[in-house]
Amino acid sequence: MYMASDPSTRDKVTDTFTQASNCGMNVARTWAFSDGGYRALQTSPGVYNEDMFKGLDFVVSEAKRHGIYLILSLVNNWEDYGGKKQYVQWARDQGQLMNNDDAFFTNLITKGHYKNHVKAVLTRVNSINGVIYKDDPTILGWELMNEPRCQSNLSGKPIQDWVMEMSTYVKSIDKSHLLEVGMEGFYGESMPEKKQYNPGYEVGTDFISNNLIPQVDFATIHLYPDQWVPGSNETSQAKFVEKWIQAHTSDSKLVLRKPILVTEFGKSSKSSGYNVQARDNYFRNIFNSVYSCARARGACGGALFWQVMAQGMKSWSDGYDVVLQESSSTVSVISLQSRQIASLNK
């Protein structure tokens, strides 16, 4: 959206979609938010920067042109690009007394601002193709929040109630598109025995109960063992990946009875011992697990890595970026997975 909002850098969006399509990728996930701060989409509650919205319009239209479906996330748990912290600050500016950023999930003002943003995005008329977002088949689905967490209340109730309310609201506007929560996959109190699979901590979410909500169409997990299991080596991380995917795909099929998608995984160049070969091995391990599940007609049939980036965007790097034009070995790993998954649909 940032690159697309400036006509002089829109070619980076086109190049990224072209490279992704050449690798056989057909689903991408990106932000439909940027709240407050530098070049915001939503500059204040309900007030939008039209240039930024036109940038998002361009992203959606280019995705369609390249045969790529989009999952659009509606807010961030983290303060990057505003997130729940910005919503809480807006509420405080209106006189609300809030103890911490987790009040985002329970405060009437923050929930109202979030719903207004949901409506603004879903009813947006694309300035390029004239299609309302909620009617655009290029959009595969909506994500309520990127990586929701409520560590001030580990009971799971604040997020459970919030997901129920917001998923119902999204579906009241758009019954056509799929909806997912944006979860990392941490287990909670509904099935305490499953918490053995968590990487040593809880975050106030519950993979089972959050995804059992009827309005949620498919489950998601993220995979960052280099963050979640500090000090672990490649072998132990590979074992964690295998167990994490197996546990969640099994629960999705047998308990949730819904599909599941790995919507984020990556290997940071800032991690100790990083090299491209280690990244390729990590990608390969995840892809192999997903392919095995898909081949067995399991609940999972895809995985999205974080994140594709165009050339000339070093200042935007978070360590996880993959520049496809500069990563031939990684492209080979991705392309093989694309071909294998596609072959299952023939």
pLDDT in tens, 275-327: 999 999 999 999 999 999 999 999 999 999 999 999 999 888 999 999 999 99
- Cα–Cα dist 126/342, whole Å: 30
- Cα–Cα dist 121/133, whole Å: 7
pLDDT tens digits along 78-131: 999 999 999 999 999 999 999 999 999 999 999 999 999 999 999 999 999 999
> Mean pLDDT, to the nearest integer, of 204-212?
98
> Mind giving me the DSSP string for 79-121?
STTSHHHHHHHHHHHTT---SSGGGGGT-HHHHHHHHHHHHHH
- Note the pTM of the prediction, 2 decimals: 0.97
- Cα–Cα dist 290/195, whole Å: 22
Q: What's the confidence (pLDDT) of residue 130?
A: 98
Phi and psi based region of residue 306 (left: phi greater than 0; alpha: psi -120 to 50; beta: remaining): beta
Residues 6+ apart with CB under 8 A from 325: 15, 19, 311
Instruction: With CA atoms as reference, report the closest residue to 331 among 62, 22, 27.
Output: 22
Catalogue all structural domains in the chain, each as residue range(s) with its CATH number. 1-179 (3.20.20.80), 218-337 (no CATH)
Query: 132: which 2 tokens?
Result: 């309302």
Query: 183: which 2 tokens?
Result: 């979860």
Confidence of residue 345 (pLDDT cuts 50, 70, 90): confident
> Mean pLDDT, to the nearest integer, of 65-89?
98
Q: What's the confidence (pLDDT) of residue 231?
A: 83
For residue 47, the surrounding DSSP H or E stretch is strand 47-48
Confidence of residue 201 (pLDDT cuts 50, 70, 90): confident
Strand partners, 47: 44
SS3 296: coil
Confidence of residue 272 (pLDDT cuts 50, 70, 90): confident
Answer whether 3's CB lies under 8 Å from 78's CB: no
Q: What's the confidence (pLDDT) of residue 256?
A: 99
Strand partners, 73: 31, 143
SS3 235: helix
Q: What's the confidence (pLDDT) of residue 2?
A: 84
Burial profile 218-237: b = 16 or more Cβ within 10 angstroms, e = fewer = bbbbbbbbbebeeeeeeeeb
- Cα–Cα dist 71/59, whole Å: 12
What positions carry a catalytic annotation? 147, 264
Spacing of C-alpha 136 from chain mean position: 19
